[in-house]
Amino acid sequence: MQEHLIVTLDGKDYLVEPGKNLLEFIKEQQTFVPSICYNESLGPIQTCDTCAVEIDGKIERACGTTVQRSMVVNTTTQPVQDSQKEALDRILEKHQLYCTVCDY
């Protein structure tokens, strides 16, 4: 049996299975993080940057991150909110309302 990892999400500690995708873990905790390009069946595409979170003080994509022992994740800090807004602004700036093909 694998030992669970302790991950801190928004100030609360959780036991998490090693190898778990961070975005999936966050969503399982009923915590909202935008994730426009992520589809669980496809895995991380890592192109939109809307799933930005703060990990140990650094802004990272949650979709392309695997949980690590003693990881500290924040989803509501001002730098996270600014990064998510900037990512969405970049997408909308190039958006042409043609949703079957997105060449962002």
The string of pLDDT tens digits covering residues 2-44 is 789 999 999 999 999 999 999 999 999 999 999 888 777 776 7
Strand partners, 8: 13, 72
- Of 18, 39, 15, 43, the C-alpha closest to 29 is 15
With tokens 């690590």, the residue in question is: 68
The pTM of this model reads 0.84
Assigned CATH topology for domain 5-94:
Ubiquitin-like (UB roll) (3.10.20)
Enumerate the domain spans of the chain.
5-94
Specify the residue for token string 């905790």: 29
Closest CA to 75 of 56, 58, 52: 52
Q: What is the pLDDT confidence band of residue 87, given thresholds at 50, 70 and 90?
A: very high
What is the reported pLDDT for 99?
Answer: 61
Segment 31-83, tens digit of pLDDT: 999 988 877 777 677 778 899 999 999 999 999 999 999 999 999 999 999 99
Helical ranges in the chain per DSSP H: 22-28, 78-94
